[in-house]
């Protein structure tokens, strides 16, 4: 059979259309381009939230906790820390404070320490990146920074000062640090501790104790983080810590909004510090251990 120029063009067009149909089938992720990450033995965890993720600043850091220095546990500075000579975007041994100058012991401290102690493989290193703003609502981590800043404009000066250390865009600072970290290692999970903001301070935005939209807000942040970091949807766990007293029903409901992804870390039995919102030193340690034990169950067994 003699092929005309017209018939050849039609045949080629059919082949190309078939290929497009095959690779763009509705509902699949065949075209997803996952980020290239670094050393598979360097496991990185993103941490964000409020003052209990910072650690109680008023309590300070006892010297016995500052003595910790293990090269297998690293922290990437998410804010400049002149007192400890740390600069944004660089890795350092995870000696507290991990978050900013003048912050306290964080559950992230004891999370990392527990992982390096309990993971059998000595080649595994742990890195954490912490972006936390005391007292903030979940809105401050909205990807839409106009919304986040509209919320911040109504807040007290101390919160504005903290946000300024993250370039007035905490969400983007977490993303930027995570992208740098992906050159060095592999992002394996997210830790969240946010939930103490109450209606008395903030009647017009989502918060962790009393707003039914909180779970949807957390899911949106999680989805945006994974998309911006080119990680497959729902591919890493998110651990959400309960508040002092273990009494937030909104946080307990998070796994329903994020099935198979979100896990709640209970705080029953943990001692509180000098006020009703913060944990004691022992409470932070035990909370960090609980985060780690759950992550070991999910990622290392």
Q: At what angle do helices 145-152 and 170-182 cross, to 10 degrees?
A: 130
DSSP state letter for 57: G
Whether 280 is a known active-site residue: answer no
Bond prior to 97 in cis (omega within 30° of 0): yes
Q: Which residue among 51, 106, 197, 248 is the active-site one?
A: 51
Whether 278 is a known active-site residue: answer yes
DSSP state letter for 141: G
Whether 56 is a known active-site residue: answer no
**If residue 146 lies in a helix (H) or strand (E), which one and from where to where?**
helix 145-152
- The position carrying tokens 């890195």 is 127
Alpha carbon 96 to chain centroid, angstroms: 18
Nearest to 135 by CA among 217, 254, 53, 218: 53
Question: Are the beta carbons of 264 and 299 closer than 8 angstroms?
Answer: no
Alpha carbon 241 to chain centroid, angstroms: 12
What is the token pair recorded at 191? Answer: 């830790």
Q: Which residue among 43, 193, 263, 278 is the active-site one?
A: 278
What is the token pair recorded at 250? Answer: 């909104």
Residue 228: strand, helix, or coil: helix
Biggest alpha carbon–alpha carbon distance for the chain: 90
What is the token pair recorded at 253? Answer: 């409901």
Q: Which residue among 30, 71, 268, 275 is the active-site one?
A: 275
Contact residues for 212 (Cβ-Cβ < 8 A; gap 6+): 250
Question: Are the beta carbons of 200 and 224 closer than 8 angstroms?
Answer: no
- The position carrying tokens 């010297």 is 63
Calpha distance 37→179 (Å, rounded): 9
Q: Which residues are designated catalytic?
A: 51, 275, 278
């Amino acid at each position: 059979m003699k092929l005309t120029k017209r018939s050849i063009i039609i045949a080629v067009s059919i082949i190309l259309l078939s290929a497009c149909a095959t690779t763009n089938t509705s509902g699949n992720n065949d075209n997803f381009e996952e980020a290239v990450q670094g050393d598979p033995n360097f496991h990185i965890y993103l941490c964000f939230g409020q003052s209990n993720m910072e650690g109680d600043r008023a309590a300070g850091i006892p010297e016995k906790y500052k003595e910790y220095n293990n090269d297998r546990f690293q922290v990437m500075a998410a804010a400049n820390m002149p007192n400890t000579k740390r600069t944004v975007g660089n890795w350092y041994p995870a000696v507290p404070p991990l978050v900013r100058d003048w912050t306290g012991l964080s559950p992230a401290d004891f999370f990392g320490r527990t992982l390096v102690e309990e993971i059998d493989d000595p080649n595994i290193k742990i890195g954490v990146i912490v972006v936390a703003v005391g007292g903030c609502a979940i809105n401050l981590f909205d990807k839409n920074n106009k919304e986040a800043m509209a919320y911040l404009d109504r807040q007290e000066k101390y919160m504005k000062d903290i946000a300024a250390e993250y370039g007035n865009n905490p969400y983007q600072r977490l993303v930027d640090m995570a992208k740098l970290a992906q050159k060095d290692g592999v992002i394996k999970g997210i830790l969240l501790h946010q939930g103490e903001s109450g209606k008395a301070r903030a009647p017009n935005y989502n918060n962790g104790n009393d707003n039914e939209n909180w779970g949807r807000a957390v899911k949106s942040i999680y989805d945006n983080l994974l998309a911006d970091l080119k990680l497959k949807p729902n591919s890493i766990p998110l651990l959400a810590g309960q508040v002092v007293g273990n009494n937030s029903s909104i946080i307990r409901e998070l796994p329903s909004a994020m099935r198979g992804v979100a896990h709640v870390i209970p705080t029953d039995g943990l001692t509180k510090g000098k006020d009703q919102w913060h944990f004691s030193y022992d409470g932070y340690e035990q909370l960090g251990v609980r985060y780690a034990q759950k992550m070991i169950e999910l990622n290392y067994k």
